[in-house]
Every structure is written in C-alpha cells, then in structure tokens.
Chains A and B, each alone.
Chain A
C-alpha cells in the first residue's frame, strides 16, 4: 500500500505539470499541429480512450499504468504519442521526476516483452530503464528473469544481487505485487502450500509424459518451469503461496478465463469447485495445473488483461528460483540440471517410445475422444468405465496387434496443409477379435514423431 501511495506522490507531481485536463488537451494539440486535419481527427478518435484512462489516472494509478502497458503492447504510434507528449512536456517543465517516469515506462515495456517471451528485446529496454533510474529494483528483477531465460545465469544472478543491494526506502518496504495479492490469503497457509507442492510435482511428472505443444513455440521457458520446486520443494516462498492462491481465486470468478478453460480442462473443474475445496485441495489443484502446463499458459491473460495475479505468480517464481540459485553453486547447478533433465526426459520418452513401437497419445483430450461410446470398444474388451484404465488397456491391445505396422496401412497417407505440408495422416486397419479396428495416426513431418489421433471399432 505504501508503495502505491508513493506512486501517488509522483502522480501528484505529474499533475502539477498539467494543472487541468483541458490544458493537457491543448498542450497535446500544440504538439500535434504537424498532422493533417484527417490525421488529427483519426488521432483524436483513437486518443479518446486513452484520455479517459489518463483522467482515471488521478484516482486509479494501477489501472492506468496497465493501459499504458496495453498501448505499448499494441505499439500504436498514434496513441502512444500522447503519452510521449506528456513525457516531452514534463521534460520541458524540468520536472525532477521525469527520469523516474521514463524508467517506470520502460520497465512496463520490458515486463510486457518478457511476458511475450521476447527476452533479448526485454533486456535492451530494461537496461535503458535501469539507466534512467538505477534504483529501479523491479527493473533489475525483470532483467534478471530475461537473462535467466536466455541461459545467462551469471548475469541473472548479478542483477538479482544488485536488486537486493538497492536500499529500499522505508515507504517502499512492502512488495507491491504481494500487496496486490494479499487480499486472497488462504485460511490455512500450511495446508495450501503442502497441497501446492504435491500438485506441482504430480502435474510436472505428467508434463514429461504427455505432449503439450507450447502455445508460444519452442522456448526454453526456464522460469515457467518452477524448477526451484524440483530442487528444493521445502523452500516454497510465502510470496509464491499467496500468488498461487490469488490466481486460483481469480480463475474461480473471472469470466475472461472461460476461453482458457477450453484449452485447460482442469481449469473448468477448478473454477466450479474452488469455494467448496479445502485449502489443501485448492493448493493441489492449482499446483497441478501450474506443474502440468507451466506458467506460460497464463501469459495471454497477464499481458492483455493486466491481471496482477499472473504477474504476482510469475514474479514470485522468478524470485524463488533466483534466490535458491544464489544460495549456493550446488543449488544453482541442481536447478539447471533439473530443467535440462526435464527437457531430456521428454525427448527420450518420445524417442524411446518411437523406437519400441509404443503408441503415443497426443494429450489427455485424445483419450476422452477415443473412448467415446460410439467408438464401440466394448466389442473388443470389457470396459471398466474409467477412461485412464480403459485407454491403457486399449493401447496395449493395439500395440500387441501391431496396428500401425506398414502391412496394415490402407491407401496413401494424406498431407496437411496441402499448400505446405506439416502433418502426415495415415490410416491403419486390422481385424482384432473378429472386428475391424480403424486407427488414424498423425506424424509431424519435421520431427518424425507419430501420435495416435483417433481409433474406433468399425460398426456397419
């Protein structure tokens, strides 16, 4: 809260530069007289929204600063020029706080770039932010995270140490993000943390076996991986516990997660049952999602909606990882080892499975699809009704009968997309227990990895 108040202090100086909202508009108009009439009209239209937000700045600093982040994210020169005008005018007025503003502005930009996983760009912007305000603790931490992601651990630790060395003014002694999340503290923190650890461990173990194509391409995403847990689960930080709880609480109530629920089936269950769960189960379920999918699954919400909870969780994870790395070289190595072990494990799991003729499923959703009633598996074996058990039995049957042997291939594999093929779809059929089994496999042409996409018992 104190940090927020300090921001208001700066804002107060900001508004002494622009005594009234009308003056603000006229000042901007003067700076915009280079534009044609049409360009100016467009500019004004586009700026209306921003002007409303700047008006809001007087009462709600945080919301407005997120809007600035949004504008930076969209990188629209017409609308962000208004903010730049503020900075230019503040410079003209010789405001003593101009460097602070510039640093905060660049810090926001750097955070956004980090959230978009553009680490090199983030480093360059955050370096600038630090140059404007060498006491910008958050900029150091954010840059440390970016260095960590590009495998520059020494530089990451150097930034983390610098951040820790910066004396925190007495009015900034509380962490802003922690304060944001503090309204959502679990009643029984120990139960929640224990559940969180268990959930993360079991979710992460599943992530090594299943194939989850990253929503953001093939990035290392070290800080999305919660490696500190793997290294030393006992050292779970209070900040992380609070942030994870806050995210769970947010998921429960927020409508913007509806679409995310389509992608993460576990989220739907979590959001509908959150209020009825014990703190231990809450921790376990949210931990499972974080462990299984990584933190980057929440990135779009964090970037676009400015959700504090995602930011708080990400920050807490960064801090925890760096803190543990900093404690000793051994722990540092352990974390790096854990992260590379995880990656190797997944690679070897897939390649071993391919070598041994094992059938791989793409993800959990494939199981539900294949085990639908109309796929008629009850004609082949006795179903238990438990999808996990039944799919395992089915895979064993398909493997034992060598369903995907070349001799069972029917016709010619199809290629998708036709214009520039990435996937090969092959159809295999074999008679098992007097029934024709139809199985469709998809092969990623780039990697050669094949997954079972669909299968059923043919019923005429």
Chain B
C-alpha cells in the first residue's frame, strides 16, 4: 500500500496521532486534500491530551498546507489566522505575528475584532515586541468599539501591565471585573473546522 493510501486510510479512520507519528507534515499535506489536511491539523492542534509535541506537528502541518496549496490558502484570511493561533498555542512568537499580519493584510476593510485583539496580543512575547505597546493598545481600542469584549479588555490589562501604567491597569481591571464575563469577541476559526471538531468530540 503506498504512502498516500495509508495516510488517507488513517485519516478516514481518524487515527490522526498515528499519522503524526509516522509521516512528515509535508507527506500528509500532499496525501490529503486541502480540506482534509486542514481538518487533520486542526484536530491535532486541539488534541485531547493537549500534547505540545502534537501541537507543534499541527503547526508544521498548517505551514506545509500553505506551501502546497497556495491558491486555496490565499482564498480566505481565516487560514492565516488559524496558523497564527497554532503558533500562539505552540509559543512560536515571531511566526505568530507574521501569520496574523498576513491575515490582517488580506482583509480590505472592517477587520474582525478578534483578529485585532490577537494582533495586539503579539506584543506579549519574549524579546522586543513586533509592534509597540501603544500600537497594540490602539488595535484593541479599535476592537472594543465594536463591543466591550472581555478578551479585548484582558489583553489591554496585559499591555498596561507591561507598560507599567498602574493607573490604567487598575482602571481596565475594574472594567474587566464588572463586565459580562461571557462576552468574548466572535471566533475567527473556520466554521467547518469547528463543526468537525465538535463532531469528533461527540463521536469520541
């Protein structure tokens, strides 16, 4: 049985960890269709054990999907945002910013609040941040104009803490405490992947 058939067969049986242990991300991206490869990467990223090695593999797989299917990839900014999320989960800070920036640049107008917040969150990293804290704050403020999202306020608290601006940190911490804790900005993960994840959860 050739490699592609093996990978496809494992994918159909949802034996994704076996895929990750036996094949390189490049091989998997080539053997599966664009959507199947994305599903594999997404389910591995959110693997049940939250295993960081598997998550690193998922991030590499997304990177390969981008290389192998450039035309599909370019169609939707959400794919770059997903890659940004994978890099965030795996603490690959420089790559995270680059991916979110690409997603941001693909959107002509009205960027979704979550993307603005995630872009601002990139300031929270080891070493010099890719954008200044003030730029980060401005991005979050832009997002908060669309709603008083708690994830946005939370990032704002982080940025003021890093700026050592105690007054503003206290102010926004109070707002966070009194805000509706369930009001997070809408997710920017591709819907079909979220549906696939929930379906998979139900089955297991």
Which A residues have a C-beta under 8 Å from some C-beta of B?
49, 67, 70, 74, 76, 213-217, 256, 258-260, 262-263, 300-301, 303-305, 362-363, 365-366, 369, 372, 374-376, 410-412, 414, 416-420, 422-423, 427, 429, 436, 438, 442, 444, 453-454, 456-460
Contacts A258-B24, A301-B22 given; does A412 touch B176 at CB 8 Å: yes
Bound complex: CA A442 to CA B176 (Å): 21
Contact of B21 (CB < 8 Å), options: A300, A457, A460: A300
Contact of A458 (CB < 8 Å), options: B22, B56, B91, B162: B162
A275 to chain B, nearest CB (A): 24
Q: Which residue of B lies closest to A70 (CB)?
A: B1
B145 sits at the interface (CB 8 A): no
Contacts of B197 in A (CB 8 A): 417, 419-420
Bound complex: CA A362 to CA B91 (Å): 14
Q: Is the interface of B mostly helix, strand, loop or mixed?
A: helix
Range of interface residues on B (Cβ < 8 Å): 35 or more
Is the CB–CB distance between A416 and B89 below 8 Å? yes
**Total A-B pairs, Cβ < 8 A:** 124
Contacts of B53 in A (CB 8 A): 262-263, 365
* 0 or 1 for each of B152-176: is its CB under 8 Å from A? (1 = yes): 0111111001101000000001001
Bound complex: CA A411 to CA B172 (Å): 9
A300 to chain B, nearest CB (A): 4
A122 to chain B, nearest CB (A): 17
Is the CB–CB distance between B126 and A411 below 8 Å? no
Contacts A300-B18, A418-B187, A454-B91 given; does A411 touch B153 at CB 8 Å: yes
Q: Which residue of A lies closest to B56 (CB)?
A: A262
Bound complex: CA A363 to CA B151 (Å): 29
Is the CB–CB distance between A365 and B52 below 8 Å? yes
Which 3 residue pairs spanning A and B have beta carbons closest together?
A: A411-B154, A213-B49, A456-B126
Bound complex: CA A411 to CA B124 (Å): 13
Contacts of A375 in B (CB 8 A): 126
B44 to chain A, nearest CB (A): 12
Bound complex: CA A259 to CA B22 (Å): 6
B23 sits at the interface (CB 8 A): yes
Q: Which residue of B lies closest to A215 (CB)?
A: B17
A447 to chain B, nearest CB (A): 11
Contacts A418-B189, A442-B50 given; does A410 touch B91 at CB 8 Å: no
Interface centre among A259, A411, A442 (most CB of B within 10 A): A411
Contacts A74-B9, A213-B49, A436-B164 given; does A412 touch B128 at CB 8 Å: no
Q: A263-B54, A304-B22, A419-B189 known; 14 other A-B pairs, CB under 8 Å?
A: A213-B50, A215-B49, A215-B51, A256-B22, A362-B52, A369-B91, A374-B127, A410-B161, A412-B150, A412-B181, A416-B89, A422-B46, A423-B50, A438-B162
Contact of A259 (CB < 8 Å), options: B20, B46, B156: B20
Q: Which residue of A lies closest to B125 (CB)?
A: A456
Bound complex: CA A427 to CA B123 (Å): 14
Q: Which residue of A lies closest to B49 (CB)?
A: A213
Is the CB–CB distance between A74 and B13 below 8 Å? yes
Q: Which residue of A lies closest to B51 (CB)?
A: A213
Bound complex: CA A95 to CA B173 (Å): 81
Bound complex: CA A375 to CA B127 (Å): 7
Within B94-122, which residues are at the interface with A (CB < 8 Å)?
none
Contacts of A458 in B (CB 8 A): 162
Contacts A74-B9, A74-B13, A436-B162 given; does A411 touch B157 at CB 8 Å: yes
Contacts of B187 in A (CB 8 A): 418-419
Is the CB–CB distance between A304 and B6 below 8 Å? yes
B74 sits at the interface (CB 8 A): no
